């Protein structure tokens, strides 16, 4: 266990060692979460822009990406010293430490091979986190870190904990298995995680005899949330407050909804210039203009008056903005555009389905057909689940019906999000 006092001493000590990197942007590879947190805060204190790389990157991958982003790749030696990983170190910019420090945050990389590098001001990271603060949040809260610390959502959880003096529990990994162990062992009562995480966690708990964690706050974000999942969480954690957060690495945390409904209220389209984040829909895609989001990618800038495409495709139904998929995940079936999320919702509602991913599969006649990979619950027969899926999908228009349904043991997950890159 590390106290706040010990933490701040380590931050200040490391910040003093950053003088040689003045004017440079740093990229850190670290497997230790505490090292990563201390590094990030120390860079902020020293006025140096830093980026945390995914812990699974090896030195070769880190160096390659550092060259792309213009970072100096940094690692820790076994004795705790800072070491530059590449001989081809980019020179400093010649600027003094910034009085308004920035941090670079990589996107999750679930829809592209190389994550985008979004650049943020720390003041906006803090403002974004505190805007969505839970009304009764207090220092006795015990937050579980169910995101990697290099993710935007991970930093938001960290800032929530630090600015309220709460306890932060770091599990062995962000896998739902390790997260459940940490929740029960350390009595974590505030958990923020993706819908994919919560679906896997619910499946794990159905076969776990230890009982449910006593959660007071459940926060969901990072992917579209279905009403089915919200209902399942209410039933499993009846005393918890459940919040759906809409946030992206580009625009920051912008909407918090606790009404138990999927999607977002259309009232967000009526926001004016005084609001921190405004929204509009253009050609079926949600766009945002944010005063607390990034000020640009590593190779471009974004002004506060610029609209940013979120990549989220939406429909407006019954006074609600419903998510139907990502811009790059549309399946063209013989000229008919099929969005995967509505199909996934139908399949997810079938008894015995734990996880599902719908995608397009090449076909010589129609170009693509709809396919689905499904993980069945342990107590259900996969063949029976497949038949039930076929019956459930019969209500869908012909083009949306999955012609291929594969029963699989697992689905590819990246940072607790469904991996939706091209197969």
Residue 144 has pLDDT above 90, yes or no: yes
User: Both 60 and 194 in a single domain?
Assistant: no
pLDDT digits (tens, 9 = 90+) for 21-47: 888 899 998 778 999 999 999 999 999
Q: Worst-scoring range by mean pLDDT, 175-184, 254-263, 414-423?
A: 414-423
Q: Mean pLDDT, to the nearest integer, of 279-283?
A: 97
The alpha carbons of the chain give a radius of gyration, in whole angstroms, of 22
User: How many of the other CB atoms lie within 10 Å of CB of 170?
Assistant: 19
User: Both 337 and 376 in a single domain?
Assistant: yes
The pLDDT value recorded for residue 101 is: 87
The pLDDT value recorded for residue 95 is: 57
User: Both 51 and 187 in a single domain?
Assistant: no
Instruction: Quote the DSSP letter at residue 41.
Output: H
Write the DSSP assignment of 298-322 as a string of letters.
TT----TT--EEEEEEEEEETTEEE
In terms of DSSP bridges, do strands 190-193 and 142-145 run parallel, antiparallel, or are they unpaired?
Answer: parallel
User: Both 71 and 190 in a single domain?
Assistant: no
User: Both 142 and 232 in a single domain?
Assistant: yes
User: Both 165 and 290 in a single domain?
Assistant: yes
User: Both 93 and 229 in a single domain?
Assistant: no
The pLDDT value recorded for residue 111 is: 55
The answer as to whether 192 is a domain residue is yes
The answer as to whether 113 is a domain residue is no
Token pair in block for residue 152: 């935007």
What's 63's domain CATH number? Answer: 3.40.50.980
Query: What is the residue range of 11's domain?
Result: 4-99
What's 231's domain CATH number? Answer: 3.40.50.12780
Spatial distance between the Cα atoms of 287 and 201, rounded to a whole number of angstroms:
32
User: Both 149 and 240 in a single domain?
Assistant: yes
User: Both 72 and 16 in a single domain?
Assistant: yes
The answer as to whether 119 is a domain residue is no
User: Both 139 and 253 in a single domain?
Assistant: yes
Quote the mean pLDDT of the chain.
90
Query: How far apart, in Å, are the Cα atoms of 256 and each of 230, 403, 407?
Result: 14, 37, 35
The answer as to whether 170 is a domain residue is yes
Residue 308 has pLDDT above 60, yes or no: yes
Residue 176 has pLDDT above 90, yes or no: yes
Specify the length of the chain in residues: 423
The pLDDT value recorded for residue 301 is: 87
* 317 strand-pairing partners: 320
User: Both 334 and 393 in a single domain?
Assistant: yes
Whether residue 192 contacts residue 147, with contact meaning beta carbons closer than 8 Å, is answered with yes
- Could you tell me the end-to-end alpha-carbon distance of the chain, in angstroms, rounded to an integer? 42
The answer as to whether 325 is a domain residue is no
Predicted confidence band of residue 108 (pLDDT cuts 50, 70, 90) = confident
Residue 112 has pLDDT above 80, yes or no: no
The pLDDT value recorded for residue 223 is: 93
Q: Mean pLDDT, to the nearest integer, of 105-111?
A: 75
Three-class SS state of 86: coil
Instruction: Quote the DSSP letter at residue 130.
Output: H
Percent of the chain at pLDDT > 90 equals 73
Q: What domain count does the chain have?
A: 3
Which of 51, 78, 99 terminates a domain? The answer is 99
Query: How far apart, in Å, are the Cα atoms of 177 and each of 94, 167, 208, 268?
Result: 47, 21, 11, 36
The answer as to whether 310 is a domain residue is no
User: Both 95 and 138 in a single domain?
Assistant: no
Of 222, 178, 227, which Cα lies nearest the Cα of 201?
178
The pLDDT value recorded for residue 114 is: 83
């Amino acid at each position: 266990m590390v106290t706040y006092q010990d933490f701040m001493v380590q931050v200040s000590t490391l910040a003093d060692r950053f003088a040689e990197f003045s004017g440079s942007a740093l990229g850190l590879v670290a497997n230790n979460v505490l090292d990563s947190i201390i590094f990030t805060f120390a860079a902020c204190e020293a006025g140096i822009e830093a980026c945390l790389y995914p812990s699974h990157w090896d030195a070769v991958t880190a160096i390659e990406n550092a060259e792309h982003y213009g970072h100096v790749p940094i690692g820790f030696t076994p004795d705790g010293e800072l070491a530059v990983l590449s001989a081809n170190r980019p020179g400093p910019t010649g600027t003094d430490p910034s009085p308004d420090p920035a941090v670079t945050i990589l996107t999750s990389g679930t829809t592209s091979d190389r994550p985008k590098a979004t650049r943020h001001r720390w003041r906006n990271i803090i403002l974004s986190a505190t805007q969505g603060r839970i009304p009764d949040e207090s220092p006795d809260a015990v937050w579980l870190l169910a995101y990697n610390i290099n993710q935007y959502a991970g930093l938001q959880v960290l800032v929530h904990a630090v600015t309220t003096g709460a306890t932060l529990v770091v599990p062995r990994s962000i896998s739902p298995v390790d997260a459940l162990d940490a929740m029960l062992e350390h009595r974590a009562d505030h958990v923020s995680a993706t819908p994919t995480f919560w679906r896997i966690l619910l499946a794990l708990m159905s076969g776990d005899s230890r009982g449910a964690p006593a959660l007071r706050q459940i926060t969901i974000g990072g992917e579209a949330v279905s009403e089915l999942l919200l209902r399942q969480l209410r039933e499993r954690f009846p005393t918890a407050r459940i919040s759906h957060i809409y946030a992206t690495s580009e625009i920051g945390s912008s909407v918090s909804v606790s009404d138990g409904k999927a999607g977002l209220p259309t009232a967000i389209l009526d926001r004016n210039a005084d609001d921190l984040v405004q929204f509009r829909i253009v050609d079926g895609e949600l766009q945002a203009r944010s005063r607390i989001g990034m000020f640009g990618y590593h190779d471009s800038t974004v002004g506060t008056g610029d609209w940013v495409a979120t990549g989220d495709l939406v429909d407006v139904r019954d006074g609600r903005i419903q998510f139907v998929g990502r811009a790059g995940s549309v399946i063209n079936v013989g000229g008919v555009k099929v969005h995967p999320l509505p199909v996934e919702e139908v399949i997810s509602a079938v008894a015995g389905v734990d996880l599902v991913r719908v995608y397009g599969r090449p076909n010589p006649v129609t170009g693509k057909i709809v396919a689905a990979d499904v993980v069945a619950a342990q107590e259900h027969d996969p063949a029976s689940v497949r038949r039930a899926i076929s019956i459930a999908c019969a209500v869908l228009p012909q083009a949306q019906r999955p012609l291929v349904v594969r029963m699989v043991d697992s689905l590819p997950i990246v940072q607790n999000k469904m991996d939706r890159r091209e197969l």
